[in-house]
Amino acid sequence: MNKLAVVLFTVLLLGACGEKPQSAGGSNRDTPPYMGTGVAAFTEPGSKVGDKTSWELALRARTQFGQNEFSRGQ
């Protein structure tokens, strides 16, 4: 019985070490990122969906200002 417990423990331990496959499931790679998701909740107020230039400028500004929305609002 003791051997069985050791074997079961070893199997469970090794099973926990396995890595699950990582995929980008559900992502639509045909659409450029500046086209948005189509869901208003994920769109920043005042942004122009589909305008690549304004999207690039907003991305550049976020990078320049540190992407921390909390610290910028104070």
The total number of structural domains in the chain stands at 1
- pLDDT tens digits for 1-22? 688 989 888 888 887 777 777 7
Does 61 reside within a domain?
A: yes
Does 13 reside within a domain?
A: no
The confidence score (pLDDT) of residue 67 equals: 67
Show the domain range for 57: 32-43+51-65
Global confidence as pTM = 0.46
The confidence score (pLDDT) of residue 68 equals: 63
Does 4 reside within a domain?
A: no
In angstroms, the CA 71 to CA 10 distance is 47
- pLDDT tens digits for 18-39? 777 777 666 656 778 888 877 8
Say if CB 14 and CB 31 are below 8 A apart.
no
Give how far Cα 49 sits from Cα of 1, 2, 22, 56, 59, Å: 65, 64, 29, 12, 13
- pLDDT tens digits for 44-66? 787 788 889 988 988 888 877 77
Two tokens, residue 70: 């909390």
